[in-house]
Amino acid sequence: MSAVGLFYVGAVLILNGLLLLGVVSAKGAAPLNLFVGGLQVVVPTALLIRADDPAAVFEAAPLYLFGFTYLWVGINAAMAWDQRGLGWFSLFVSVTAVAVSVYNGAALGDGPFAVIWLYWAVLWFLFFLVLGLDTARLSRLTGWFAIVTGVVTAAVPGALLVVGLWPAPTAAPAAAITTGALALIGAAALLLPALLGGRGHAPAASAPGG
Res 203 pLDDT > 60: no
Residue-level pLDDT at 208: 57
Q: What is the pTM of this model?
A: 0.90
Q: How confident is the model at residue 123 (pLDDT cuts 50, 70, 90)?
A: very high
Count helices and strands in the chain by DSSP H and E runs:
9, 0
Domains and CATH numbers, the chain: 3-195 (1.25.40.600)
**Digit-coded pLDDT (tens) for 76-108:** 988 878 899 999 999 999 999 999 999 999 999
**Residues, the chain:** 210
Res 201 pLDDT > 50: no
Higher pLDDT, 97 or 52: 97
Residue-level pLDDT at 193: 75
Percent of the chain residues past pLDDT 90, beyond the cut:
72
**Digit-coded pLDDT (tens) for 141-163:** 999 999 999 999 999 999 999 99
From CA 133, how far away is CA 154, in angstroms rounded? 27
Within 10 angstroms of residue 176's Cβ, the number of other Cβ atoms is: 13
Contact 196, 4 (CB under 8 A): no
From CA 168, how far away is CA 85, in angstroms rounded? 38
Residue-level pLDDT at 60: 86
Residue-level pLDDT at 204: 42
- Mean pLDDT, the chain, rounded, equals 89
List Cβ neighbours of 109 (8 Å cut-off, separation of 6 or more). 169, 170
Higher pLDDT, 203 or 129: 129
Burial class from Cβ neighbours inside 10 Å (0-12, 13-18, 19+) for residue 29 reads: buried
**Digit-coded pLDDT (tens) for 161-188:** 999 999 888 788 999 999 999 999 999 9
List Cβ neighbours of 1 (8 Å cut-off, separation of 6 or more). 9, 59, 63
Q: Which of 159, 166, 147 lies closest to 210, judged by CA? A: 147
Res 16 pLDDT > 60: yes
Higher pLDDT, 149 or 204: 149
Residue-level pLDDT at 202: 43
